[in-house]
Chains A and B, each alone.
Chain A
Amino acid sequence: QVTLKESGPALVKPTQTLTLTCTFSGFSLSTSGMRVSWIRQPPGKALEWLARIDWDDDKFYRTSLKTRLTISKDTSKNQVVLTMTNVDPVDTATYYCAREAVAGRIFDYWGQGTLVTVSS
């Protein structure tokens, strides 16, 4: 059974660095073809893909946020970590981690999401 769960702070101040952790089970990120992404959803708005890490440690970022994002993995702990620097109130959103399906860049398993509010 595949599960993913996000964890991290609920409240972050502007200009701070946000660190989110995705802990998953039911698959291994050392298995060829496995990929995990971070996706966010501002309140009342559409979903937005942020970053992806692959089984071979390839990393991909949303172009507009590339300078602020870092994604990494700890295969032994079944975790993927996303850091976002210099946060702003517009970064307030529910952040999801999701497994990318074998069928392509779609997401077949998602975490429950974690709401992050950026406010002073």
Chain B
Amino acid sequence: DIQMTQSPSTLSASVGDRVTITCRASQSISSWLAWYQQKPGKAPKLLIYKASSLESGVPSRFSGSGSGTEFTLTISSLQPDDFATYYCQQYHSFSGTFGQGTKVEIK
């Protein structure tokens, strides 16, 4: 199975900060990577697919980049609604493994 490792596991930030989350794959996954946002008690929400394509309706402050084994999710200016846990997911292999998550909390 392809392993997905996110860093950091927790991130403290303030409203207006630029935030970057990293996701590393144990082998090349080309650009087959998605990012999700999950709030407590809620289902995950798709933000980005194919590493950098923004899902319809997702604010443009979210962006994704990377290919191969290293990927980043960037929030250009953190908003109160963005405090949540973020997961990456590879879909190069059928198992579609998720990362362990990065919790973005209020500083």
Contacts and interface: CB of A to CB of B under 8 A. Distances in A.
Contacts of A63: 95
Interface string A16-30: 000000000000000
Contact of B101 (A46, A101, A106): A46
Query: Interface majority SS on B: helix, strand, loop or mixed?
Result: loop
A106 B44 contact: no
B99 A104 contact: no
B96 interface: yes
Interface in B16-70: 32, 34, 36, 42-46, 49-50, 53, 55
Contacts of A45: 100
A47 B24 CA distance: 16
Contacts of A113: 43
Contacts of B32: 104
A110 interface: yes
A49 B46 contact: no
A57 interface: no
Contacts of A72: none
Contacts of B91: 104-106
Contacts of A112: 42-43
Contact of A108 (B46, B99, B101): B46
Q: How large is the interface on A (under 10, 10 to 19, 20 to 34, 35 or more residues)?
A: 20 to 34
Q: Which of A60, A62, A103, A113 has the most chain B CB within a 10 Å cutoff?
A: A103
A105 B96 contact: yes
Interface string A86-106: 000000000010100101111
Contacts of B53: 103
Contact of B46 (A96, A107, A111): A107
A11 B96 CA distance: 28
Given A107-B46, A112-B42, 9 more contacts: A46-B99, A49-B96, A49-B98, A101-B49, A104-B49, A105-B96, A106-B34, A106-B46, A110-B44
Interface of A: 45-49, 60, 62-63, 96, 98, 101, 103-108, 110-113
